[in-house]
């Protein structure tokens, strides 16, 4: 077959992560690995949007042939408002981190909670079914993971926040789902922490960014406790070090990052990549930074 007769190479579909700031994002590396792994023809970039220009940037990306976007800080609420159709988990979270451009409009999803649950259950080997879970924080990060955790049918989720009314509002929002899945959903201020070990403690506060510990009774941490911080870095977070000092097993949120990305890839392509090998590679990169 001559060159002129050869089949044209299919062009790559365009995706990106949009945020401000966005230069630090590991999403392009993660999705490049997923594309190699699955054979999907995907081109993935970073898209820096001005704080007052999110919608315009998304529309321009779509008009130029873009197929979907990951959405990071501070645009998850704007992405929720922009979507024409929401997944149940995005509607429950009140925020969107994944946009897919369909023929009939923009589909919004939230894969953060799925990423957290999959990292805990698959990568870390801890089942949430029947577990006693303590969720520290009641902001956007916490709200995005409550429904996916409830779907795993834990026996109890206690939501604790420095300002109790925020925790109570979240408990009220998910009371129906908790009843459906047979889970006791309770909480309030820091005094609502049960002074005996939980199976899983999730730190959904932003405290680790400022090396600040969330207020929590130390008796909640035991040798059988998985203490999970949604944050991650080259070094263990202050929350992780605190948990380890109390005898608990500690984990950071890097696996959540990889697994939510894998779920986004599935939402876009209908193909589910394996997160574990990409997580191993990212761990090695972080370890190299730490030395």
pLDDT in tens, 23-63: 999 999 999 999 999 999 999 999 999 999 999 999 999 99
Asked if residue 141 belongs to a known ligand binding site, the reply is yes
Higher pLDDT, 52 or 5: 52
State the burial class of residue 177 (Cβ atoms within 10 Å of its Cβ: 0-12, 13-18, 19+): middle
C-alpha to C-alpha distance for 155 and 133, rounded to whole angstroms: 8
Q: Please compute the mean of the pLDDT values over residues 262-286 and round it to a whole number.
A: 96
Residues carrying an active site annotation: 76
Q: Are 145 and 112 in contact (CB under 8 A)?
A: yes
How long a stretch of residues is the chain?
291
265, containing H or E segment: helix 254-269
Asked if residue 97 belongs to a known ligand binding site, the reply is yes
Q: Nearest to residue 72, comparing CAs of 264, 203, 227?
A: 264
Asked if residue 240 belongs to a known ligand binding site, the reply is no
pLDDT for the residue 11: 85
- Residues linked to residue 203 through DSSP beta bridges, in sequence order: 136, 229
Is 70 exceeded by the pLDDT of residue 7?
A: no
Percent of the chain at pLDDT exceeding 90: 91
Q: What one-character DSSP code corresponds to residue 219?
A: G
Is 80 exceeded by the pLDDT of residue 21?
A: yes
**99-138: pLDDT as tens digits:** 999 999 999 999 999 999 999 999 999 999 999 999 999 9
pLDDT for the residue 172: 97
Asked if residue 2 belongs to a known ligand binding site, the reply is no
Q: Please compute the mean of the pLDDT values over residues 260-269 and round it to a whole number.
A: 98
Asked if residue 255 belongs to a known ligand binding site, the reply is no
**182-216: pLDDT as tens digits:** 999 999 999 999 999 999 999 999 888 888 999 99
Domain with CATH 3.40.50.720 in the chain: 113-253
User: Which residues, at least 6 apart from 239, have a Cβ–Cβ distance to it below 8 Å?
Assistant: 203, 207, 208, 213, 214, 227, 229, 231, 250
Is 70 exceeded by the pLDDT of residue 8?
A: no
pLDDT for the residue 6: 40
pLDDT for the residue 2: 39
pLDDT for the residue 209: 85
Q: Please compute the mean of the pLDDT values over residues 234-248 and round it to a whole number.
A: 96
Q: What one-character DSSP code corresponds to residue 190?
A: G
Q: Under CATH, to which class is 3-110 assigned? A: alpha beta
pLDDT for the residue 10: 63
Q: What is the mean pLDDT of the chain?
A: 94
Domain with CATH 3.40.50.10860 in the chain: 3-110
Q: Please compute the mean of the pLDDT values over residues 3-14 and round it to a whole number.
A: 60
Q: What one-character DSSP code corresponds to residue 203?
A: E
Is 70 exceeded by the pLDDT of residue 4?
A: no
Asked if residue 284 belongs to a known ligand binding site, the reply is no
Q: Distance between the two ends of the chain, CA-based, in angstroms?
A: 53
Q: Under CATH, to which class is 113-253 assigned? A: alpha beta
C-alpha to C-alpha distance for 117 and 29, rounded to whole angstroms: 22
Q: What one-character DSSP code corresponds to residue 18?
A: E
- For 152, the token pair is 């795993």
**157-170: pLDDT as tens digits:** 999 999 999 999 99
Q: Please compute the mean of the pLDDT values over residues 57-77 and round it to a whole number.
A: 96
State the burial class of residue 283 (Cβ atoms within 10 Å of its Cβ: 0-12, 13-18, 19+): middle
CA 153 to chain centre: 19
249, containing H or E segment: strand 249-251
pLDDT-wise least confident of 10-14, 57-61, 110-114, 176-180: 10-14
Is 50 exceeded by the pLDDT of residue 175?
A: yes
Is 50 exceeded by the pLDDT of residue 250?
A: yes
């Amino acid at each position: 077959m001559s060159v002129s007769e050869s089949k044209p190479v299919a062009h790559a579909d365009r995706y990106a992560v949009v945020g401000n700031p966005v230069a630090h994002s590991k999403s392009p590396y993660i999705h490049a690995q997923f594309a190699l792994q699955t054979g999907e023809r995907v081109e993935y970039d970073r898209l820096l949007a001005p704080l007052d220009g999110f919608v315009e940037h998304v529309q321009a990306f779509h008009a130029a042939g873009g197929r979907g976007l990951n959405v990071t800080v501070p645009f998850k609420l704007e992405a929720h408002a922009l979507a024409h159709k929401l997944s149940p988990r995005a509607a429950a979270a009140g925020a969107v981190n994944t946009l897919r451009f369909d023929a009939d409009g923009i589909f919004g999803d939230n894969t953060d909670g799925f990423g957290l649950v999959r990292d805990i259950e698959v990568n870390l080997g801890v089942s949430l079914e029947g577990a006693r879970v303590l969720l520290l924080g009641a902001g956007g990060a916490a709200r995005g993971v409550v429904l996916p955790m409830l779907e795993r049918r834990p026996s109890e989720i206690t939501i604790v926040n420095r300002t109790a009314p925020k925790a109570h509002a979240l408990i009220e929002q998910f009371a129906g789902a908790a009843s459906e899945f047979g889970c006791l959903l309770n909480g309030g201020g820091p005094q609502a922490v049960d002074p005996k070990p939980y199976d899983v403690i999730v730190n959904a506060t932003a405290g680790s960014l400022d090396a600040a510990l969330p207020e929590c009774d130390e008796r909640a941490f035991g040798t059988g406790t998985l203490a999970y911080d949604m944050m991650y870095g080259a070094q263990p977070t202050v929350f992780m070090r605190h948990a380890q000092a109390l005898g608990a097993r500690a984990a950071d949120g890097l696996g959540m990052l990889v697994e939510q990305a894998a779920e986004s890839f599935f939402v876009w392509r209908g193909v589910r990549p394996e997160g574990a090998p990409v997580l191993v590679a990212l761990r090695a990169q972080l370890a190299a930074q730490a030395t």
